[in-house]
Amino acid sequence: MPTTIRYIPSVLYLVVAVVCLVMARKSILARRIIPFHEAAAGKPWEDMEEPLRQVILTLTRTTGFGFLAVGLLLIATCAAAPGHPGAVLKFGSPCIALTYCLGIFWSTYRLHQATRTPTPWKGSLAAAALLLAAMAVSSVLG
């Protein structure tokens, strides 16, 4: 097999990592509710009581730190994988990231179903698909 094929899993992991880091930055530094959450709540941010706003910001920032952890995990996996091709790096770390992406998918899809608000459930499902594709390529490469 050409050596360039060996880089496919790392490239896919890095794509998901970059998206996670972007979402981490947005979420951790958030000063107000995410627009689709506001639409689902059916109430403008300005009309929400201050304690509720603080709870929402706390949950948003907590989610952001989850995105940060997954992004860093995937970057570390790519950095360590060439020297240590073991099963933990090939599948363990990506499975942790996959669990997070599927959790985000599940919660945003449920919110979409409950409120008919457009949520980013398709993006989290796409990230999960990229992770699965990268793991499949890794398993074929041996």
Distances (CA, A) of 18 to 12, 25, 58: 10, 11, 23
Kindly report the length of the chain: 142
Helix boundaries (H) for the chain: 8-28, 35-41, 50-80, 87, 93-115, 121-141
Output the pTM of the full model: 0.77
Band of the pLDDT at 44, cuts 50, 70, 90? very high
Phi and psi torsions of 10, nearest 5°: -65, -40
Structural domain span for residue 37: 3-141
Provide the domain count of the chain.
1
Q: What is the pLDDT of residues 66-98, one digit of tens each?
A: 999 999 998 988 887 665 656 666 778 888 889
